[in-house]
Amino acid sequence: MFNDKTAKFILLAGLVLCIGGAFAPNWIVNQFMFGFARALAILGLMVLWRTGLVSFGHAFYFGLGAYAVAILDIELGVTDVFLRLLAGAVVAGTAGFLVGFIMRNYRDIFFAMLNTAISMVLFGIVVKTESLGSTDGFAISMSTILGFAPESKYPLFVIITLIGLTSALLVNFYLKTTVGKLTTAIRDNEIRVEYLGFSVAHAIHLKYTISTILAGGAGALMAMSLGQVDPESMINWTVSGELVFVTILSGPGNVIAPFIGSLVFEVLRTYAFELAPQAWQLIMGATFLTIIFFVPGGIWSLLEKLGGKKNAK
């Protein structure tokens, strides 16, 4: 599991980040926290994207993860970071597994749309339900770590980094297994995959469930990082669109890509927001179009080219 270049790089990067984070200023730590929390969801969407599936509704699982944390906090006073994360991933993953029985028969825009519909059902419920916080959402109390309450953001940052690292390693392994390799093959010819003896529906169901667990975990981590949840920034279809945007921005080439892509997205957002608050979406949309037209492999393919040139020299 650790004996390839990607895995080694992930371990090294994790070490550097965890040490570096202790000395970094708060705002940098924050950017990494948000970036890596979102990256978890992107990692899952990447698994789907490799098979040609785009979900315009993964905010459903992102939101479930985030709201699981909020409701556990309010109803039961659960503040432990690991319990919260587990709750988010389990709730979203269970929902994803169940929805997966239907979703595995859908492709293309029907897949995208059914996901949208399901996420908007949740959005519709949350927005109109007082006990779920309605449009205002909830504030979430500070997370504790195995009983102790940290004084800075650093411990949470380390945990998010470690969770991200572990997930990346697991997905990296998954992508090298037989079922994980069934990506382009499914996109190219489902009939052949069936005749070879593998159920395309089962393969897609697994990919879908993986993506929902990761999206739920991402939602939980995001809720903890932000200290609040609300439907507009956690469940609405524009959030799903944002997740898809970062997925395409990152590129499907490698499990490290979602982390880099998410960080770029965070930085882009912070600066664009400061420089031109009314043109933030414009910048995002234009970037998106540029990527679709000229850089189909996303940021990762650019990095690969850079690396390739260096090696050639």
In the complex with another protein, the residue whose CB is nearer, 9 or 237, is: 237
List the beta bridge partners of residue 148: 145
Query: Looking at 220-228, 260-268, 272-280, 302-310, which segment touches another protein (CB under 8 A)?
Result: 272-280
Dihedral pair phi/psi, residue 151, rounded to 5°: -95, -20
Q: Measure the CA–CA gap between 141 and 149, rounded to whole angstroms.
A: 11
When asked if residue 210 is in the footprint of another protein (CB under 8 A), the reply is no
In the complex with another protein, the residue whose CB is nearer, 80 or 190, is: 190
Report which DSSP code applies to 6: H
When asked if residue 152 is in the footprint of another protein (CB under 8 A), the reply is no
| Structure-block tokens of residue 2 | 């650790």
Q: Binding marks (x or -) toward another protein, 84..123, rule CB under 8 A?
A: ------------------x--xxxxxx-xxx-xxx-xx-x
Please list, residue by residue across 255-294, b when 16 or more beta carbons sit within 10 angstroms of its beta carbon and e when fewer do: bbbbbbbbbbbbeebeebeeeeeeebeebbeebbeebeee
Degrees, nearest 5: CA angle 214-219-221 = 95
Q: Measure the CA–CA gap between 183 and 118, rounded to whole angstroms.
A: 25
Q: Measure the CA–CA gap between 158 and 146, rounded to whole angstroms.
A: 14
26, 135, 166, 184: which one binds another protein (CB under 8 A)? 184
When asked if residue 125 is in the footprint of another protein (CB under 8 A), the reply is yes
When asked if residue 124 is in the footprint of another protein (CB under 8 A), the reply is yes
When asked if residue 179 is in the footprint of another protein (CB under 8 A), the reply is yes
Q: How many CB atoms lie within 10 A of CB 109?
A: 11
Q: Measure the CA–CA gap between 68 and 204, rounded to whole angstroms.
A: 26
How many positions of this chain bind another protein (CB under 8 A)?
68
When asked if residue 176 is in the footprint of another protein (CB under 8 A), the reply is yes
12, 16, 267, 286: which one binds another protein (CB under 8 A)? 286
Report, in Å, the least distance between residue 162 CB and another protein.
Answer: 23
Report, in Å, the least distance between residue 107 CB and another protein.
Answer: 7
Residues that bind another protein (CB under 8 A): 52, 54, 56, 102, 105-110, 112-114, 116-118, 120-121, 123-125, 127-129, 173-174, 176-182, 184-185, 187-200, 236-238, 241, 244-245, 248, 278-282, 284-286, 288-289, 292-293
